[in-house]
A and B are shown apart, each in its own frame.
Chain A
Amino acid sequence: MSQAGTEIVRASAHTGAVPGAGLNREYQVCKLIDTTTCIGCKACEVACLEWNGYTFTQTTFDNSYQTMPETAWNYWNLIKFNEHELDDGRMMLLMRKDQCMHCEEPGCLEACPADSAIVQYANGIIDFQEEHCIGCGYCMTGCPFNIPKFSPGARKVFKCTLCNDRVSVGLEPACIKACPTGCLHFGTKSEMKELAETRAAQLRNVSGFADAGVYDPSGVGGTHVIYVLHDAKNPELYGGLPKNPHIPYSVWLWKKPLKWLGNLAIVGGLVGMALHYMRVGPKKEEPIPPDERRV
């Protein structure tokens, strides 16, 4: 991204093709998580902590391999482990790496009241700017994936940055770097989508997962983190991945019609009162008739 706009399109006294002519740079990045090849090793969890400078702290054990019940303000990357019984009685251990999905239409950004506390970059990354965050927690209501988490110490909200600091200098996110099975991929959105569809087709045609598919939910305009699932018809099985995530209706109602109705009513009321005062003026006390006085 830092080199954006510096491709050569014309060169003096140059015969033949210009190196950058017709070049079409795709800025939209994407992380692909193939849950079918994840082994649950948690290297991505460790890499995330290490790169982002957090240390491991006490957690809750809930009789599974899962590190903690859900992501935390200082634990942005969590593999969710879910046991699933197939129709024929066989068991599957579903493992899904949970983190910010980097929605194209982000509910957190929509709900946020603080100027520039949440930004969307041209490459699709949604980034919290903690210096502008006021810690109200509206993003935690706006997010359909339960990702933003409040830090009581900082009184601000934190989440996965898709390693924006690495991506902006041409590196892949830390979790991708650490994955030993290659179930994590990073590239442009179109490349990742193609790779995901290829893998899903392979799962359907070769591996016997008839419902295998790609999770790139359209309700939030698509995401910059996409999954390959064995059973794309039931994403809820994978630790509560919503089937049709969207910005909550209440957030929409609040930010659109209610806001305009409310503002109109307030301004209308003020104007109305001014007109009333000019038209009928103040109420003044009147003298009491003598026979109604009390001595």
Chain B
Amino acid sequence: MSTNAVHRTGAAANYDQELMTRYTFAERINHWIGSLTYIYLLMTGLAFWSPYLYWLAAVVGGGPTARFWHPWVGLFFAASYFWMSIQWRRDMEIDADDRAWKHEIKSYINNEDDKLPPVGRFNWGQKIFFWGMVYSTILLLLSGIGLWYTEAIPWKFHILRMAIILVHASVALITIGLFLIHVYMSTILEEGSFGSMVHGYVTRAWAWTFHRKWYYEVTGKPRPPQ
């Protein structure tokens, strides 16, 4: 299924409410592999992070179980991100419009989206989230393998043991920040986003409002002069 397909459904009474495919089936499946594994990693990771959150480990089967599965689930998460970076590498390239958008980010925060430069399939914020997660995943994977088999790091390199414990926690915190913003924006802030990641569709009006460059690209309509 191509993202360029324009769907006409009987239910949509007018042009604005007709549906466009925003995410392919493969993109959605991978997104949910990434999200569910991340949520498990977040719960178990926070359990190891603070005694006040240790009860989170009990929710998913207890401390030793959490310790056993956290690295394995981490591998699935990393695999999901590897696949995602292949799927979205082109769409996530940051261009001149994105840099202009970045300077107007205040308008975005204040919901004055009409003041923003045109946005492609993804906006600058989404791209930063994506690349932030990609690079964080690489660091988490490398440090995580070291934490998985701490005993395999010889004592003469124990500075490595000390470094990875700090790297893993710091980078995980960065991903938590990115994750919280992502969840907030895609569930309650931008209406229509969450559903598009479930069934794959958005309305034309949604595409025109939030991703205008992408809307013109998909519909093939020439962009009006700025």
Query: Do A113 and B113 contact each other (CB < 8 Å), given the known contacts A138-B165, A262-B173?
Result: no
| Chain B binding surface SS class | helix
CB neighbours (8 Å) of B68 from chain A are: 135, 155
Interface residues of B in 119-175 (CB under 8 A from A): 147, 150-151, 155, 158, 161-163, 165-166, 169-170, 173
CB neighbours (8 Å) of A276 from chain B are: 109, 189
In the bound complex, how far is the Cα of B158 from the Cα of A146, in angstroms? 9
Shortest distance between the CB of A255 and any CB in chain B (Å): 9
Interface pair A250/B165, CB less than 8 Å apart: yes
Interface pair A137/B48, CB less than 8 Å apart: no
* A253 interface hit (Cβ, 8 Å): yes
Give a binary string over A271-295; 1 marks a CB under 8 Å from any B CB, 0 the rest. 0010011001111111110011110
Interface pair B173/A140, CB less than 8 Å apart: no
Interface residues of B in 3-38 (CB under 8 A from A): 15-16
By size class, the interface of chain B is 35 or more
Name the contact of B177 in the complex, choosing from A138, A240, A254, A265 (C-beta under 8 A). Answer: A265
Interface residues of A in 225-267 (CB under 8 A from B): 240, 248-251, 253-254, 258-259, 262-263, 265-266
Interface pair B184/A285, CB less than 8 Å apart: no
Interface pair A280/B111, CB less than 8 Å apart: yes
Interface pair B220/A114, CB less than 8 Å apart: no
Name the contact of A283 in the complex, choosing from B113, B165, B181, B221 (C-beta under 8 A). Answer: B113
Give a binary string over B45-68; 1 marks a CB under 8 Å from any A CB, 0 the rest. 001111100100100000110111
Name the contact of A134 in the complex, choosing from B51, B64, B150, B162 (C-beta under 8 A). Answer: B64
Chain A residue with minimal CB distance to B176? A266
Chain A residue with minimal CB distance to B163? A250
CB neighbours (8 Å) of B177 from chain A are: 265-266, 269
* B180 interface hit (Cβ, 8 Å): yes
Interface pair B151/A285, CB less than 8 Å apart: no
* B96 interface hit (Cβ, 8 Å): no
Chain B contact residues, CB within 8 Å of chain A:
15-16, 47-51, 54, 57, 63-64, 66-68, 109-111, 113, 147, 150-151, 155, 158, 161-163, 165-166, 169-170, 173, 176-177, 180-181, 184, 188-192, 203-206, 208-210, 219-221, 224
